[in-house]
Amino acid sequence: MTCDEFEQDLVDSSRCRSGGDGWLLRASKAAVIQAHVENCPVCAKKMAEATRLQDALDRLRASTMHLRAPAAVERNLLDAFRQQAARRRTSVGRASGWRFVWLSAAALVLLAAGLRLYSSLPTKSPLKSENNSKGSKLEIQLPSSPGLSGAAKEAFRKDAGALADNPVTVSSRRVARADKPISRRLARNAAIPPSDEFFLNGGGSVVRVTLPFSSLTAMGLPVRPDLSDTRVTADVWMDPFGAVVGIRLVPAGARAD
């Protein structure tokens, strides 16, 4: 071992740890180093100085191992920790509140969007095609209406019996007045029962007319654009005030009454 190698070994292996891998304790190097320092007074002096310094540092480390931060520091830190924890809880609660608000708003928006989408979808055509032995017939099917008076139902049954054989032959028919007229709004929404007949409630009349398909759009019925100019025959149910309450399309070959 040369002095340079000894110096390098001193640099490389003079680990700070006092035990284990400290350079003076490394068994693999100890013999070589010892042999060198016995013949080199300069390196022997360096080794002695390094040993002395390491011992002094070890003693200093041991002499300060008992040192701790004062208790006041821990108290201050605990106060700070509690305040921080309280702030975090508050912020979390506030965040939860805002989260609830945002979720509610999002749910409302989604609901509104869903309703709008649903309303924009093509409605199911109220026109129902039916084939029977007497030819095809188009009939307006409206939802059933509750609250019809007994007299109105009786009038319907009477009318239905008369029209059962040929529901498309009614050209104009005065219908019996009900003993208790229902409101105009109810009449507009009143159902034509799922039979072959109109149900005329609170008076009115059925008039057979010929009109273009495009006129049906004003009544809320879907019409294909290419058929808008085609004329069609229909039985129109008009209330006593002249407003259209219902309509039934009549096939072209149907016989008039």
Judged by the rule CB under 8 A, the positions of this chain that interact with other proteins are 10-12, 14-18, 49-50, 53-54, 56-57, 59-70, 72-74, 76-78, 80-82, 84-85, 88-89
CB 210 within 8 A of CB 233: yes
Least separation in angstroms between residue 12's CB and other proteins is 7
Least separation in angstroms between residue 18's CB and other proteins is 8
Cα within 13 Å of Cα(47), Cβ side:
20
Least separation in angstroms between residue 36's CB and other proteins is 18
Least separation in angstroms between residue 37's CB and other proteins is 16
For tokens 């969007």, name the residue.
113
Q: How far apart (Å, rounded) are the C-alpha atoms in residues 228 and 225?
A: 5
Q: How far apart (Å, rounded) are the C-alpha atoms in residues 151 and 81?
A: 81
The smaller minimum CB distance to other proteins, of residues 58 and 145, is found at 58
The smaller minimum CB distance to other proteins, of residues 67 and 117, is found at 67
Least separation in angstroms between residue 81's CB and other proteins is 5
Longest dimension (CA), the chain: 141
The smaller minimum CB distance to other proteins, of residues 17 and 180, is found at 17
Q: How far apart (Å, rounded) are the C-alpha atoms in residues 210 and 231?
A: 6
Q: How far apart (Å, rounded) are the C-alpha atoms in residues 233 and 250?
A: 5
The smaller minimum CB distance to other proteins, of residues 49 and 154, is found at 49
The smaller minimum CB distance to other proteins, of residues 75 and 180, is found at 75
Q: Is 133 helix (H, G, I), strand (E, B) or coil?
A: coil
The smaller minimum CB distance to other proteins, of residues 60 and 95, is found at 60
CB 206 within 8 A of CB 235: yes
Instruction: Return the structure tokens found at 116.
Output: 């709008």
Least separation in angstroms between residue 97's CB and other proteins is 19
